[in-house]
Amino acid sequence: MSHATLVGLILLAGVLGFRHGIDWDHIAAITDLVGGGSDKRRGFILALWYAAGHEVVIIAFGALATLLGWTLPHWMDGVMERFVGITLFILAIFLIISFIRNRGEWVVMSRWRLLFIGFYRWAY
């Protein structure tokens, strides 16, 4: 593999990674972190940790798949898109219910907290 090919692949990975990062599910996750409080510095640091952690997982799985020669079936992309869409829809319902229960007062909660509250109420 030539040097130019390697540089091109790295640039392509960067562009595709940036494109992946501005999907709605990622914007929603980072908005949860940044919009949840009044301390902008803390929100920025949380968002930075989210992005760094996400990147480490992507690199680890990508390297493992590349080293082992694994590939996902083509239909998996469509299944995962639907799964993410359904989870975002369910979380939106939780937000609407929370908004109604709090009599129109907007209470910002992370998606994880909403899930824990929902599972707790369902289980007990």
Res 66: pLDDT: 85
Q: Where are the domains of the chain?
A: 24-71, 73-124
Res 93: pLDDT: 83
Res 79: pLDDT: 93
Q: For residue range 68-83, what is the model confidence (pLDDT) as tens digits?
A: 988 888 999 899 889 8
Q: Is 58 exposed, middle or buried (0-12, 13-18, 19+ CB in 10 A)?
A: middle
Res 33: pLDDT: 67
Q: Residue 33: CB partners within 8 Å, gap ≥ 6?
A: 43, 46, 47, 50, 110
Distances 61 to 1, 8, 56, 81, 94 between C-alpha atoms, Å: 22, 21, 9, 18, 31
Distances 70 to 6, 62, 64, 85, 100 between C-alpha atoms, Å: 21, 9, 8, 26, 47
Average pLDDT over the chain reads 79
Which SS3 state, helix, strand or coil, does residue 106 take?
coil
